[in-house]
């Protein structure tokens, strides 16, 4: 985030330096002289929280684009063809605009899948991948390709029986073998599509590959996996863990962060994971959270040695999560 983009925005909490000294009080509207002051004190702009000045994505707009996604995927299932024009007109503008939402926690909350997981997942992964692409400073032309690739990453699931996709219990080995074929199906559907950048079918093929070679379908390692596929893998896992699935409820926030850091779902690209999680955590100051003991608090400041264990204010008590092993953040509370 560039400093100049802060002009005219109203800060939510006091801006403090590394020693806790207040530099600019809460509710100040940022002007030119504030920008110079913040630069002199080397304040990271993404650590500043603001009074919300963006329009939250409405549930109706999400439902509308999910219904469009559903219609398009049924069309692909019936015809075996990718209707590029309909996707570029009916889905991609929403995906790219949603990724501009300045409050990423509102964004994450509204794109969580609750029902019809497959269709909501396509939109959620498209938005989160676009967001990651921007944080990685990809060019606009690269982001356009990434957004489309991420939105279509699971297109091969149109050839997987619905009873397997929506099975509430554990899959058998045979059922999981069928599920894994969606990567190949997606690649085969898209590789013949005229006007489609060839990195897009690669993402469909490779988004379950892992750096350690333990992914599928080809067991590729490291640089053998396309960079966009690695980005979509991170978005795919984050959205899947954050959402209600036929076989599990949303996983608590602290567990998602911990598991992604440790690569528990397969070795993800460490730089992409770090950029994604660090950008999330740095935006948490000023956000309300629900702790694992049920209490609600506000993130006051980040721990410079481990940003995943911030200082939380609960009523008149301050809880330093870096010194407590018994309490963690269960969920970011959107009010």
- Per-residue model confidence as pLDDT tens for the chain (335 residues): 556 667 777 887 788 877 777 888 888 888 878 888 888 888 877 777 777 555 567 677 888 998 999 999 999 999 999 999 999 999 999 998 888 876 778 778 877 766 677 788 899 999 999 999 999 999 999 999 999 999 999 999 999 998 998 888 888 999 999 999 999 999 999 998 888 999 999 999 999 999 999 999 999 998 999 999 999 999 999 998 888 876 778 899 889 988 888 875 568 999 999 999 988 888 888 889 999 999 999 998 888 788 889 999 999 999 999 999 899 999 988 65
Q: Please give the pLDDT value at position 303.
A: 84
Instruction: Tell me whether residue 45 is exposed, middle or buried, using C-beta atoms within 10 angstroms of its C-beta: 0 to 12, 13 to 18, 19 or more.
Output: middle
Q: What is the pLDDT of residues 92-112, one digit of tens each?
A: 999 988 888 767 787 788 777
| Distance, CA of 151 to CA of 127 (rounded, Å) | 8
> Taking CA 90 as the corner, what is the angle to CA 80 and CA 130, rounded to the nearest 5 degrees?
95
Q: Are 282 and 44 in contact (CB under 8 A)?
A: yes
Nearest to 120 by CA among 228, 266, 246, 204: 246
Residue whose token pair is 């330093």? 320
Q: Give the pLDDT score at 134.
A: 92
Task: Identify the CA nearest to 82 among candidates 197, 227, 229, 232.
Answer: 197
- Rounded CA separation 7/30 (Å): 5
Closest C-alpha to 54, from 1, 118, 105, 93: 105
Number of helical (H) and strand (E) elements in the chain, helices listed first:
14, 7
Q: Does the pTM exceed 0.85? A: no
């Amino acid at each position: 985030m560039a400093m100049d983009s802060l002009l005219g925005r109203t800060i939510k909490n006091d801006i403090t330096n590394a020693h806790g000294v207040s530099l600019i009080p809460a509710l100040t509207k940022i002007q030119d002289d504030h920008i110079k002051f913040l630069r002199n004190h080397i304040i990271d702009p993404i650590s500043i929280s603001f009074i919300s000045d963006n329009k939250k994505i409405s549930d109706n707009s999400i439902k509308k684009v999910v219904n469009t996604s559903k219609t398009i995927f049924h069309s692909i299932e019936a015809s075996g063809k990718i209707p590029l024009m309909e996707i570029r007109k009916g889905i991609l503008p929403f995906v790219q605009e949603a990724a501009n939402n300045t409050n990423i926690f509102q964004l994450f909350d509204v794109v969580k899948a609750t029902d019809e997981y497959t269709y909501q997942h396509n939109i959620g992964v498209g938005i989160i991948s676009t967001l990651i692409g921007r944080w990685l400073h990809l060019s606009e032309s690269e982001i356009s390709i990434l957004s489309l690739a991420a939105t279509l990453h699971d297109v091969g699931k149109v050839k997987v029986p619905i009873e397997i996709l929506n099975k509430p219990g554990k899959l058998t080995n045979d059922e999981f073998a069928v599920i894994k074929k969606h990567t190949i199906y997606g690649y085969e559907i898209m590789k013949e599509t005229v006007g489609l950048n060839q990195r897009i079918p690669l993402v469909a093929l490779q988004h379950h590959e892992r750096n350690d070679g333990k992914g599928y379908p080809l067991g590729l390692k490291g640089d053998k996996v396309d960079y966009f596929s690695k980005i979509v893998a991170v978005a795919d896992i984050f959205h899947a863990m954050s959402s209600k699935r036929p076989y599990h409820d949303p996983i608590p926030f602290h567990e998602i962060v911990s598991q992604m850091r440790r690569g528990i779902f397969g070795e993800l690209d460490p730089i992409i994971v770090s950029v994604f999680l660090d950008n999330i955590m740095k935006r948490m100051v000023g956000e309300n959270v629900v702790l694992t003991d049920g209490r609600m608090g506000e993130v006051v400041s980040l721990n410079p040695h481990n940003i995943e264990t911030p200082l939380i204010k609960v009523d008149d008590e301050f809880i330093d999560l870096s010194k407590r092993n018994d309490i963690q953040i269960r969920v970011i509370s959107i009010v």
